[in-house]
Chain A
Amino acid sequence: MRFNSLDFAVFLPLVFILYWLIPRKKITLQNILLLIASYVFYGWWDYRFLSLIIFSSTVDYFVGIQLDKTLNKAKRKLLLALSLVANLGLLGVFKYYNFFVSSFIDMFREFGVELQYESLKIILPVGISFYTFQTLSYTLDIYKGKLSSTKDALAFFAFVSFFPQLVAGPIERASNLLPQFTRQRNFDIESAKDGMRQILWGLFKKIVIADNCAKTANYVFGNYQDIQGPVLFLGAIFFAFQIYCDFSAYSDIAIGTARLFGFSLMRNFAYPYFSRDIAEFWRRWHISLSTWFRDYLYFPLGGSRVNNWLKIRNVMIVFVVSGLWHGANWTFVVWGALNALYFLPLILTKSNRKYLDTPAEGKLIPSIREFYNILFTFILTCFAWIFFRSNTLTDAFGFIHNMFFFKSMSFSLIYFKYFPFVVGLLIIEWIQRDKQYALEIHSKPIYFRWISYFTVLLIIFFFGVSISSDFIYFQF
């Protein structure tokens, strides 16, 4: 079920009312309802793949209990391996099998050896990368002794499949979300109103900005061979805003929806395009995944408390794996590697934590230096997005080639038609950059709030895209 569908418009109020009709102290009943609702939400897309969530949840539930019971190191390692094999095995089969086998065969072909294979016609289950990482974090935290296992199977299963964040995150940590399933949730009107605002803002970003930008981005990336340089630059910029608004919209709706049920999810985006360097960008973009990789891959590898060569290795591994997490394609690997290259100078010069504050804090406009840094970081990001968006590496290099080597300056202003939306978004986000999300206006007078909501709704009504599309991150 998509957040931007009529199905969800019926589903959400129904579950919301049923949920709060259950007496607050009946946590078990509320969890049963949430679990059923989450499975219906997921099964709406393809019920067969519910078995994968149930499988992943079951393995980690029992592994968690067994890990808590034993102090034997070898046995603990074995249990951890079991969880890793089960979860990464699912990912391996459903997401990477065809990619690795075909890459292997291509490699042999380079040496003149022809191998035959039948590619498995596997459908990628929606959200598999998200929920497997969520359950993995639970087991890894218990293994490291940071968390105790839960014996409440219902709470655990509901935690893994919690519908607001099930298919595209934020990837929650058990330490944050799981306890919320075991304690009493109270209806808080301010929190619910805030949740509604965040949902509205998410819908605006998806239906108006992302889907409109997608029209130009899809057109330009689909026909880059026939399009001249300046338009290709514009296509890359539109894709940058498409993916940002698409993905952050999903997170906004997820966080807002969770708040309606009395849950608090972690922030996933913090105005990433106002970052002043790449390190700051990665602290502001897909925060739940970046911190996941930091905690469960980068730190175990030694992090930055090692010599420079190992630092380089660690950074490369984390970014390349992060690229692969997005999809089984060499374009994602190059995207990850490119970000690692951007990041390395910062970490080697120990300036990766230079910008921890809000850009231009306390000022209306940034200084020239800040503006230059923001712009430069944005250009680097856009360049990397070209690899992310292209279907193949050949397409990506062809796109870049045509960006810089073109025969004529022929272009139409019509390509800029969605630019005012992007500019409007940037202005609002800049003004609200110290808030959790751009429509956080609870402290404003009531007339301002109501006019703002109505304006946002009207813009959706007038300029939204009629044909609703999937969220991009569903495919990851």
Chain B
Amino acid sequence: MLQKFLIRFLLYFVLTLVILEISCRIFVDDNYFSRLNIYSDVENSDTISYIFIGSSRTAVSIVTEVFTKTPDKIAINAGRGYGTMQMQYRALEHLLKRNPDALKNCTVFIEAPMGICNTENGKDWVEDNNPHLLIPYINKKVLYEFLRTANESFNMKLNVILLYYFASWRDCFFIREVADVWINYQFEKYENIFLTKNNRGNNNADMLAKGGVKLDPISVKIARKVARNIVPVKINEQTPLQLEDMKSSMLYKINRLVTEAGGQICLFDTPVSSVIREIYVTDIAKNNIKVFSQWIEMNYIPLIRASFSSVDEDFPDLFHLRASRAEEYTDSLLIAYKKFNNHPEYMHEQ
């Protein structure tokens, strides 16, 4: 009887899985996952001139076109919300495997708000709710390394295995997103019929926060609340940074990877609101910034500080720079970078 039950269950389970798997492999556009790969568009290009690595802060505040005014220059904004430094490292490694010359003479800018980078040691490979961001860069060898070294739960490790091997598991995120957008679309369509303009509420399709940068008034209010709640948590979590810690940091690994590939890394200070700044002015943080400065000096890694002033109104959700000021900020970053490189345009200012 037990055997009969197991056979029936497996038959049903495997059959369902096979149908789903085949359907996903046939019908779901492969583009979805290839789009998650930051460098998918430039894998076959010649060398890349500039890469900007960082969080969603980098994603919204860097306008790559500012850096590519000169012909033949390619700039990539690799800023990703919910990404990790390990993910960024794997993305670069994956790019180099496809195109070993990609980073020759490339400047890889890395976000360093208030003069300090993310110094994580790479044991946290993925953000809890977004493990799929890592998948485009994984092969069997990396997967094995992840399973061996990652400081992730058993649940997360299983999740990554399933994401790697099963299209249906991967596409589940995508399908749910599409279904959600479809539902939103239907509701908005009927909203236009039933509700007059005056009594229509805030019609932001992704109002129920999913983590993107939203600028409708309610989402901004929520994000501001989150920002204020995050600051004390972050302050509480601060631990003193030692020079030795940097040897095991992902920044160290990225630096090595980039320099060995013929490029160079360069840190850039990103603007932050007064609320977020509080994280960087505690005694521990100040000390960490000092240690970090020492380390970058020892490793000849430049830190570019753009001459850019901002007020809290420039950060609608307190996290991200307003889109309308992004170009101005990127401009000032480019100028600072040129000055640092003794560009002829700015030689007279030296």
Contact = CB atoms under 8 A, between A and B. Distances in A.
Interface in B231-246: none
Contacts of B2: 20, 187, 189
Given A7-B155, A223-B218, A463 B179 contact: yes
Contact of A414 (B4, B8, B129, B191): B191
A230 to B, nearest CB: 10
Interface of B: 1-2, 4-5, 8-9, 12, 16, 20, 129, 153-155, 158-159, 162, 168, 172-173, 175-176, 179, 183-184, 187-188, 190-191, 194-195, 199-203, 205, 207-209, 218, 221-222
Contact of A7 (B154, B202, B218): B154
Contacts of A413: 187-188, 190-191, 194-195
B154 to A, nearest CB: 6
B75 to A, nearest CB: 32
A192 interface: yes
A412 B176 contact: no
29 contacts: A6-B155, A6-B162, A7-B158, A9-B158, A187-B1, A189-B2, A192-B5, A219-B208, A219-B209, A223-B222, A227-B218, A409-B199, A410-B201, A412-B191, A412-B201, A412-B203, A414-B187, A416-B187, A417-B183, A417-B187, A453-B12, A457-B16, A461-B168, A461-B175, A462-B175, A462-B179, A465-B176, A466-B129, A466-B173
A397 interface: no
Nearest to A411: B201
A6 B158 contact: yes
Given A187-B5, A414-B207, A461-B20, 7 more contacts: A6-B162, A188-B1, A219-B208, A223-B218, A411-B199, A450-B12, A466-B176
| Interface residues of B, dominant DSSP | helix
Interface in A456-470: 457, 461-467
Interface string A1-14: 00001110110000
A458 B109 CA distance: 44
A47 interface: no
A450 B12 CA distance: 8
A196 B183 CA distance: 30
Contacts of B190: 413
A6 B159 contact: yes
Interface string A431-474: 00000000000000000001001100100011111110000000
B184 A414 contact: yes
Interface string A397-416: 00000000000111111111
A226 interface: yes
A414 to B, nearest CB: 5
A457 B14 CA distance: 13
Interface string A222-261: 1100111001000000000000000000000000000000
Nearest to B168: A461
A110 to B, nearest CB: 29
A192 B209 CA distance: 40
A216 B208 contact: yes
A197 B170 CA distance: 26
A415 B153 CA distance: 35
Nearest to A230: B201
Contact of B4 (A189, A453, A461): A189
Given A6-B155, A7-B155, A461-B175, A408 B208 contact: no
A215 interface: yes
Nearest to B183: A417
A454 B17 CA distance: 10
A169 B72 CA distance: 66
Nearest to B17: A457
Contacts of B218: 223, 226-227
A221 to B, nearest CB: 12
B195 A467 contact: no
B106 to A, nearest CB: 35
